[in-house]
Homo-oligomer: A and B are copies of this chain.
């Protein structure tokens, strides 16, 4: 009741179990996918019951665009990757979320997509924390 515009937002359980929080932006919760095969961030707009981009208000959509841009640039700068992949699929987890993934020529499944490829490979705890800190400092 006191959280204003975030009222009713609850992070999807699968997203919660497979990723860790990095920080909170104006609209989105920024998370890191706990999969050491690729540097992989996820933006989740803190709005309840939204599945498609076009269900966001125009202001929220503009905010999301700005936050994607910010995170994509930071991920490129910190990883020196070949290409940033940005996607919102939602075929499995319906809660609107945007993947921002750093891809390089020698990574797993290059140049194919990261989704549905093999098994998630969790980070060692210290490596996850180091990646989170690197991303935080870049933002």
Contacts and interface: CB of A to CB of B under 8 A. Distances in A.
Interface of A: 51-54, 61-62, 65, 68-69, 72-73, 76, 82-92, 94, 103, 109-113, 115-116
B87 A86 contact: yes
Contact of A62 (B65, B73, B83, B94): B65
Contacts of A76: 52, 54
Kindly report how many copies of this chain are found in the complex they form together: 2
A113 B84 CA distance: 17
Contacts of A68: 53
Contacts of A65: 61-62, 65
A57 B85 CA distance: 19
A89 B62 contact: no
A91 B87 contact: no
A97 to B, nearest CB: 12
